[in-house]
Structure 1
Amino acid sequence: MNNNNPLQITPVTGFNAHHSHYAVTKQRHYAALNLQLEHLQVNMAKLEKHVETTAERLRMIENFGIAQGALFMASNRVLGPRESNDL
């Protein structure tokens, strides 16, 4: 075996092998966490859009309720019980 070759791969043994295994595992965990955070960020952006849409629709429903109430009050005046003087 030629010890002068800088590209020669030496087997990792002992403490270095144990440390290398944990470093690789830690790197995998960080990669998995990073992926989960990306998914969370996408889902939070979708949630924000849904909340904005819901708030906008609630304002529309409020306006619809006000208009509906005004129609009921107006129709009650027109179609409500007549006083005897009106005949």
Structure 2
Amino acid sequence: MTAEHTADIDGTEYTFDWPQDRTLLESMIAAAIPAWYSCTDGECGTCQCTLTGGPSHMRQNNVLSRYEVEQEEQTLACQTIRDGEGPYRVSYD
């Protein structure tokens, strides 16, 4: 069973399920959330967002600096897998 997570996109809040075998982006798309993305390969940075609520990891990251990831809680939604239960909160700035 997955926790209910939230996404804030352009001032609208959405809720969604995020199974641990899916990326953040895959889960938002499955919930019909209008998430920002382009390449889905971790190369372009279009899906960069802020993620809070628990541990996660990126399968690949060729865009964000270590500082952005560790200090600013930035992640690439297309590459992010959750490592905890949450609930997580994602926001696009």
- Which category describes the TM-score, using the shorter chain as reference length? under 0.3
Structure number with the higher strand fraction is 2
Instruction: Determine which structure has greater relative contact order: mean sequence separation of CA pairs < 8 Å that are 6+ residues apart, divided by chain length.
Output: 2
- With structure 2 as the length reference, what TM-score do the two structures score? 0.14
Structure number with the higher helix fraction is 1
